[in-house]
Amino acid sequence: MPPAAEAPESASRHIARAPSGFHGPDKPEYEDYARCIHCGLCLNQCPTYRLWGLEADSPRGRIRQMLLVDEGRMTLGDTFVQHIDRCLDCRACETACPSGVEYGKLVEAARAQIEQNYRRPLASRLARNLVFRHLLPHPRRIAAVARVAGFYQRSGLQRAARHSGMLRWLGLADRERLMPPVDREFFFSKLGCTFSAIGTRRARVALFAGCIAQVSFTALHEATIRVLTANGCEVVVPSGQLCCGALPAHAGVRDVARELARVNLDVFLREDFDAIVTNAAGCGSTLKEYEQLFTTDEPAYHAAHAFRAKMRDLTEFLDALGLVAPLGERRLRVTYQDSCHLLHGQKIREAPRRLIRAIPGVELVEMRLADNCCGSAGVYNVTETQTSLDLLAEKMECARATDAEIIVTANPGCLLQMRAGAEIHRTGQEVLHVVELLDRALSAAAAHSSI
Ligand code: SF4
Ligand code: SF4
């Protein structure tokens, strides 16, 4: 395959094309990795390079390994898999890159290549199959597992397991601490519902509700609906929607991600909405990039294109729409942690900050390294727990240094990670989604007006 016309001239000097031993769309493509000019500007933005100082665990080093594997000069074996697995897929390297390397696309393709050409240890295969193929695509199974987890958390079993030392003995203590708290009532019951705009209708939007979020973030979804309706949006929660496919796609399980994408495209494009919104930056990034899962000759590719035109992160949407509902004063010092997939994946930096500053009385203090990953990164905190906790420790140190009472972010995964961080490191800080802060300000205004 000849180099793509848009590949920088310098790339062809560095990378000689050789026949690939791999075929099909699920592998890093020459025209994508050839954009890398080896400048190294991404290195110090990469959390794993900053931790270990190893070229093989830097964006440049990983891209080099993708090239070598593609050319058949490196085996697709344990070493390659280890370095690709250790990547957070945080995409900080994309923001730093002057050459336009789409690193997220590359690493997800490399993971798909691994999924299709490498045999992982049995326990890993079983766990991945269970989660990505037999759990996430099935809402009823998610609800069933959540009921069991909720019983564990509320019956006293969790407390007993934590105090008995059993979790430590099983090597599960750290992972268990990162387990999401399960709601008593799930958001699944709201699928198919429509919530009317308060006052004049300014927009009609569809809410993307996610998978795990429907059993762990019902309160966040409800706050989202309150803020949207208060600002003149009719909110439809389409039934039939499924997990966005981000977790399978990030793990290289692309066949599952594709099937989920097809269902969601069908569900959300059935009706005409002004926008499709999500309060999860991790989901939003994948939803906006559904096109990458399909080849240009597939109908789903064109559907994904139309879908992308409507897809908005909640903060992006509210910022563009403009807040009209009155916000009550909140005398608070807050700091904001950028979600990687909002900042680096979707290039949205200012919208959440503007929304926070719109609340009277709120002082926004910038945190050092706010644009660095908190270590959540999808299932990374489960698969690479120690690295995740190391990154979290640094993050909480930065958060503590701001003296903020509240850490605000824009993604459920980051919320969970930093809530665990605030507990582990005893910072005493509350962790909220931007929309939860807005919701509290709405309540404060309502309470004030009723006095
Ligand atoms: S995605 Fe993040 S962890 Fe992976 S190479 Fe890029 S900066 Fe490093
Ligand atoms: S900044 Fe971009 S071009 Fe430079 S080494 Fe990193 S990925 Fe390659």
- From CA 30, how far away is CA 16, in angstroms rounded? 10
Q: Whose CA is nearest to atom 5 of ligand 1?
A: 59
- From CA 237, how far away is CA 194, in angstroms rounded? 6
Cα 103 to middle of ligand 1, angstroms:
8
Can you give the length of the chain in residues? 451
Q: Which two tokens stand for residue 349?
A: 């930096």
CB 338 within 8 A of CB 368: no
Cα 107 to middle of ligand 2, angstroms:
14
Q: What share of the chain is helix, strand, coil (3-state, %, to 5)?
A: 55, 10, 40
> Which residues sit with their C-beta closer than 6 Å to ligand 1?
45-48, 59, 62, 87-93, 103
Q: Which one, of 380, 348, 401, 431, lies nearest residue 51 by Cα?
A: 380
Cα 97 to middle of ligand 2, angstroms:
5
Residue of 10, 101, 102 to mutate, ligand 2, most atoms within 8 A of C-beta: 101
pLDDT computed for residue 133 by the predictor: 96
362: β partners: 332
Query: What phi and psi values does residue 332 have, to the nearest 5 degrees?
Result: -140, 145
- From CA 80, how far away is CA 83, in angstroms rounded? 5
pLDDT computed for residue 4 by the predictor: 32
Q: Whose CA is nearest to atom 4 of ligand 2?
A: 39
Asked if residue 308 has its Cβ within 6 Å of ligand 2, the reply is: no
Number of H helices, E strands in the chain: 25, 9
pTM: 0.90
Q: Which residues of the chain have pLDDT under 70?
A: 1-25, 450-451
Atom from ligand 2 closest to the CA of residue 100: 2
Asked if residue 36 has its Cβ within 6 Å of ligand 2, the reply is: yes
pLDDT computed for residue 1 by the predictor: 32
Cα 117 to middle of ligand 1, angstroms:
23
Asked if residue 39 has its Cβ within 6 Å of ligand 2, the reply is: yes
204: β partners: 234
Residue 256 CB neighbours (<10 A)? 20
pLDDT computed for residue 3 by the predictor: 33
For residue 188, give the DSSP letter: G
DSSP 3-35: PPTTS-HHHHHH------S--SSSS--HHHHTT
355-358, Cβ contacts within 8 angstroms, sequence gap of 24 or more: 355/315, 355/318, 355/319, 355/323, 355/434, 355/438, 356/408, 356/434, 356/437, 358/323, 358/327, 358/438
Q: CB burial class (10 A; 0-12, 13-18, 19+) of residue 225?
A: buried
Q: Which two tokens stand for residue 257?
A: 């991600």
Cα 65 to middle of ligand 2, angstroms:
14
Q: Whose CA is nearest to atom 7 of ligand 1?
A: 46
Identify residue 49 by its one-letter amino acid code.
Y
SS3 state at 433: strand
Asked if residue 67 has its Cβ within 6 Å of ligand 2, the reply is: no
Cα 369 to middle of ligand 1, angstroms:
15
235: β partners: 195, 205
- From CA 387, how far away is CA 362, in angstroms rounded? 33
Q: Which one, of 51, 103, 40, 83, lies nearest residue 369 by Cα?
A: 51
SS3 state at 276: strand
Query: What phi and psi values does residue 18 have, to the nearest 5 degrees?
Result: -135, 155
SS3 state at 335: strand
Sign of CA dihedral 179, 185, 191, 195: negative
Residue of 15, 39, 95 to mutate, ligand 2, most atoms within 8 A of C-beta: 39
- From CA 162, how far away is CA 160, in angstroms rounded? 5
Q: Which one, of 122, 144, 141, lies nearest residue 132 by Cα?
A: 141
Atom from ligand 1 closest to the CA of residue 94: 6
Q: Whose CA is nearest to atom 1 of ligand 2?
A: 97
pLDDT computed for residue 6 by the predictor: 30
Query: What phi and psi values does residue 102 have, to the nearest 5 degrees?
Result: -90, 80
